[in-house]
Structure 1
Amino acid sequence: MVENYKLNPNLTKTAAVAEWLKQRIDWQIYLPNQRVPSVRKLSKLMGISSFTVVQAYEQLVATNVLVAKPSSGYYVNEQTRLVPPNRDKKVAPKQPVIDTRWLVQQVSSDIPHHRSPGVGTLPRDWIRNDKMEWAIRQVTQQADGFIYDYSAVQGYLPLRQQLVQQLNVLGMQTYTDNVMTTAGISHAITMIAQLLTEVGDTVMVDGPGWFWLSSCLQQQGLNVVAVERDHQGPDIEQMQQLFETYHPKLYLTNSVLHNPTSYNLHPARAHQVLNLIHQYDAYIFEDDLYAAFLPSGQVLRYASLDQFERVFYATGFSKSMSSGWRVGLLVCPDHFIDDVLRIKTLSNMSTPEFGERVIHHLWTHGEYRRQIKKVQQQLYRAHERMRIALPKIGLVYPEHTQAGLFVWVDTHQDTSQLALDAYSDGWLVAPGHLFHPDASASTYLRLNVSTSSDAFLAWLGDYLNH
């Protein structure tokens, strides 16, 4: 066999050398415990520097493909065993179970956004920030001063200070000492649930509400009950009945651009809810993840009225900036901050400061504000499009929907079966039963206005008519 020493031109030279050698191990040209070409020999054959070959070999040592033996060279790891795929084995296709775990897995799969009207994020080209690489470079230049130490448990101070300034503008008065960073909203939720509840306790959520939330709380051994949510807020009579019957210690909700309805909170309803919270000695976890998409920030929140007496307030950047950084911010009532910091210390130690610094650079740069304004305009146009398109396929655009990510549509058919049929045709949708803790049958769909294409709406119209 005549060996080919050409490298993949689409990779860096180091990555290309590593790829070249792994291919030959896969092809069993080099077997376990066999010595691979020396650094000097391979660099000469490939016409590259010995330094590049050393880098590639060391990467393969770090990933347990090779073993380095002093004064001898590099050898294929004896643990390397090739298990060829069994192409003859027939596996019966499984019918998927449409639940929270399934939807989260599909969101992380390779289904493209334009085939995913059920996804919970914006298309990458909507939120791409031209200053992202700039911000990463800025932080990298400063990394030697912080990267080798544990981050502050409470989080990067300038980022917390920026949130305090932002909240003051929105009528919420707090201090940096009452703010901590988290690994996203989900991290904040699990910490506050751990703080206020024990296994077997009851917590209250909106119905419909964020599908991940109910499943997460149930997994922690909590009883999750739902209060019906309309365009003004939770049903007060039902909420009082739930307090009387179950004595929930915590109510978790979106007050602004609610997921999945894109409704806001009416001031009168907010006052009524807070009265019940005080009456029954409970607390609110207010998830304000969608705040950036409001054209005007002056929309009422529970924290605006309560001023963090009985409200834990959380926000983040996974929808508006980047899901990958997992940076969130949590504001706690003064008498709880030490307890929550203790929980954070014993669970995560701290959150990575590198990402927090990048987020701070982007948040305080004018390009982010310009980008968010553009997203707000795109969302408005997407809702106007849906307002016209839905009636054409026999559906009603909900009257009180605001220009958030979602629209909550009644199809008048069981959407769990619809989701299965859509998946078979290559569409990812979010059926209504996922948005209730008891997974009760639903005729609703949560549609992401940024990813619900004309092609999907045509499919949906045909499906509903036939």
Structure 2
Amino acid sequence: MNSREPVAPGLKDKGAGAGKQEGAAPQAGEQARSLRLVMPPPTERMPDPVPSAQMTLVEQLTEWARLRIDERVFRAGMRMPSIRQLAQEKGISRFTVVEAYERLVALGYLESRRGSGFYVRERTPQVAAVAPVATGARNIDVTWLLRSMFHSTEPHKSPGMGFLPNDWLDGELIASALRGLGRQPGSHFLASGTPQGFLPLRQQLRNRLAELEIGATPEQIVLTSGITQALDLIARLYLRPGDAVLVGDPAWFVMFGRFAAQGAQLIGMPYTAEGPDLEALERILQARRPRLMVINSVLHNPTGTSLSAAKAFQLLRLAEQYDLLIVEDDIYCDLCPPGHSATRLASLDQLRRVIYLGSFSKTLAANLRVGFIAAHPELAASLTDSKLLAGLASPEINERVLYKVLTEGHYRKHVERVRNRLDRARDETRRTIERMGLSLFAGQHAGMYLWADTGRDTNAIAVAGHEEGYLFAPGSLFSPSQMPSGWMRFNVASSQDPAMLAFLARQLERR
């Protein structure tokens, strides 16, 4: 095999000849048995479509491989384990493996290369993005973690989860708001809504922004279906194919795919405990002249750090000097404790060069899908027009629910309880992973995440964890280059399960 060709992660190659019809027919009674680790454990969100007891071993093995290819565990171009190896690991005959592989070839999942083996076929085109200077272009593929997040229903097995577990949130806040809406005339819910969003909510958000020392009228606020739509509207308005966009390295991985789909060139800026490395940033600005920069100034995902006042002033100076527009994603705003050392760019700039984004998905409910943009009046008008063209108005019923929650007086107490619980969980998780030998990124004192260096390729840990029903967030997903990384993001609210920690410790011992 060509040494440059990737091999399916977490599976060692035990020799060539995988493409040959190895072995004899299955032994008597083999088709009546169930394969070990045939499929991920059934969950409410991803039920087993056919009970394994009703499937032959060939069908089980075919489904096992198909699911892992669909979820990008086995990625395009990777060589599947040899027939001999897979037969030994699963305790089945080679004939069963051959037949399953041939079925996957017929279904378009695999291709057979004579004398080399079976390889995962490229089935759908991936979006290419340009990596930072000095590295080549690589494919952006974040669907693996996204699909796994939406499939997972066991938070205690999901240290890579991007949300708080349901039992950390207060469903009664949402239920109470819905009951209140139910007592209103039904005609209130029949209109299509307004392009900028529900006016009373925008007025309430103006008051919340004033508490952060950000001046904005309701006309400067545009409601969206979460941060993702907000970024999409900005990309549609400002970016053309080939335009350079500055993102963190590391940073929130969904953003990479969104901008890459617009044809933008992603340029990563390294991080320190106080925010972006400004010396590196200025070199990038001089060389590439990007149009746009996106930043978490408060509780950055995944490092958990916040922008210092000195860095914030210097960053705005560079933005002015190089005519850079800054998008400030403050989705973790309410998880920031009072008195925490953090500076928001929008409070210094007052929405002249900064576009401010907010959302409530982390503190209320991930599926509420209400976010907002605060911007200069002319820009807010342009974004509203872009929103109309992209999807008319956002769902007003969700906006009415959020308005009720924010004005009924219980939300502040709720987020205070969540912050206190996060503080306790963070201390416990920090002590645990440090005892395991992991090194933590400096400056992590609040929020949901810890960013830790494991000293080994975390892709391998994530793939092995997937087989055991665990969801990890490997560091490569948080880099625009997607290069292998030893870093890993831990959600402190879901990182205390003893079985998960024991599994991680075993993986870390495999140097």
Q: Give your verdict on TM over 0.5.
A: yes
Instruction: Answer with 1 or 2: which has the greater Rg.
Output: 1
1:457 is matched by which residue type in structure 2?
Answer: L
Q: Which residue is 1:12 aligned to?
A: none
Which residue is equivalent to 1:322?
365
Per the alignment, residue 327 of structure 2 pairs with 285
Q: Report the number of matched residues.
A: 384
- Residue type of the alignment partner of 1:458: A
Bigger mean CA offset, 170-179 vs 448-457 = 448-457
Write the mapping of 1:118-129 to structure 2, written as runs, cut at 5 A.
118-129=160-171
The answer for unaligned runs of 5 or more in structure 1 is 1-82
Alignment of 1:335-346 (within 5 A): 335-346=378-389
| Whole-Å separation in 2 of the counterparts to 1:322 and 1:454 | 23
In the other structure, the counterpart of 2:399 is 356
Give the Cα–Cα distance (whole angstroms) in 2 for the partners of residues 316 and 111 of structure 1.
23
Partner of residue 418 from structure 2, selected from 372, 375, 378? 375
Opposite residue 460 of structure 1, the aligned amino acid is: L
Distance in 1 separating the partners of 2:153 and 2:232: 29
The residue type equivalent to 1:465 in the other structure is E
CA distance in 1, matches of 2:315, 2:225: 29
Counterpart residue number, 2:503: 459
* Equivalent pair of 1:264/1:402 in contact (CA under 8 Å): no
Aligned to 1:106: 148
1:389 aligns with 2:432: yes
In structure 2, the CA distance between the partners of 1:240 and 1:84, relative to structure 1 (3 Å rule), is: closer
Deviations 1:279-314 (A, max 9, x none): 111111111000111121773101011100011101
Change (3 A) 1:110 1:430: closer
Maintained 8 Å contact 1:394/1:461? no
Deviations 1:110-145 (A, max 9, x none): 441111100100010111232321210111222523
Distance in 2 between the 1:408 and 1:110 partners? 21
**Which one of the candidate residues 196, 201, 207 is aligned to 2:238?**
196
SS at match of 1:226: strand
TM-score normalised by the chain length of structure 2: 0.72
What amino acid sits opposite 1:414 in the alignment?
A: D
1:437 to 444, 462, 480: 480
AA matched with 2:333? A
- Which residue number corresponds to residue 144 of structure 1? 186
| 2:344 aligned to which of 297, 301, 323 | 301
Give 2:297's aligned residue: 255
The equivalences for 1:209-228 within 5 A come to 209-228=251-270
CA deviation string 1:341-369 (max 9, x = no partner): 11001111101111101111111222221
User: 1:143 and 1:359 mapped to 2: Cα distance?
Assistant: 18
Tell me the equivalent position of 2:489: 446
Q: Deviations over 1:198-224 (max 9, x none)?
A: 111110101100011111111221111
Partner-residue secondary structure (3-state), 2:443? coil
Output the CA distance in 2 between the equivalents of 1:399 and 1:240.
Answer: 23
* Pair 301,84 (structure 1): closer, same or farther in 2 beyond 3 Å: closer
Alignment of 1:46-125 (within 5 A): 87-88=55-56, 90=59, 91-92=61-62, 93-94=64-65, 95-96=68-69, 97=72, 99-125=141-167
Shift of 1:335: 2.3
| Residue pair 1:204, 1:251 contacting (<8 A) in 2 also | yes
**Counterpart in the other structure of 1:159:** 201
Give the counterpart of 1:205 among 220, 232, 247: 247
How far residue 396 of structure 1 moved from its aligned partner, in angstroms, is 2.8
Q: In 2, distance between residues paired with 1:141 and 1:274?
A: 48
Out of 219, 235, 243, the residue aligned to residue 285 of structure 2 is 243
Secondary structure in 1 aligned to 2:184? helix
> Do 2:152 and 2:158's aligned partners in 1 also have CA atoms closer than 8 Å?
no
Shift of 1:244: 1.7
Asked whether the 8 Å contact 2:332–2:362 carries over to 1, the reply is yes
Contact 2:429 / 2:496 at 8 angstroms: preserved in 1? no
Please state how far the C-alpha of 1:324 moved relative to its aligned partner. 1.0
Residue pair 2:438, 2:454 contacting (<8 A) in 1 also: yes
For the 8 Å contact 1:129–1:368, the answer to whether it is kept is no
Q: In the alignment, is the contact (CA less than 8 A) between 1:129 and 1:371 conserved in 2?
A: no
Whether the aligned pair in 1 keeps the contact of 2:451 and 2:487 (CA below 8 Å) is yes
Match in the other structure for 2:227: 185
Q: Segments of 4+ in structure 1 off by > 6 A?
A: 83-86
Q: Is the 8 A contact 1:206 1:253 kept in 2?
A: yes
Coordinate RMSD, CA, aligned: 1.8
**Structure 1, 311-320 or 233-242: larger mean CA deviation:** 233-242
Q: What percentage of residue pairs aligned between the two structures are identical? A: 35
Query: 3-state DSSP class of the match of 2:364?
Result: coil
The equivalences for 1:385-424 within 5 A come to 385-424=428-467
1:240: how far off? 1.2
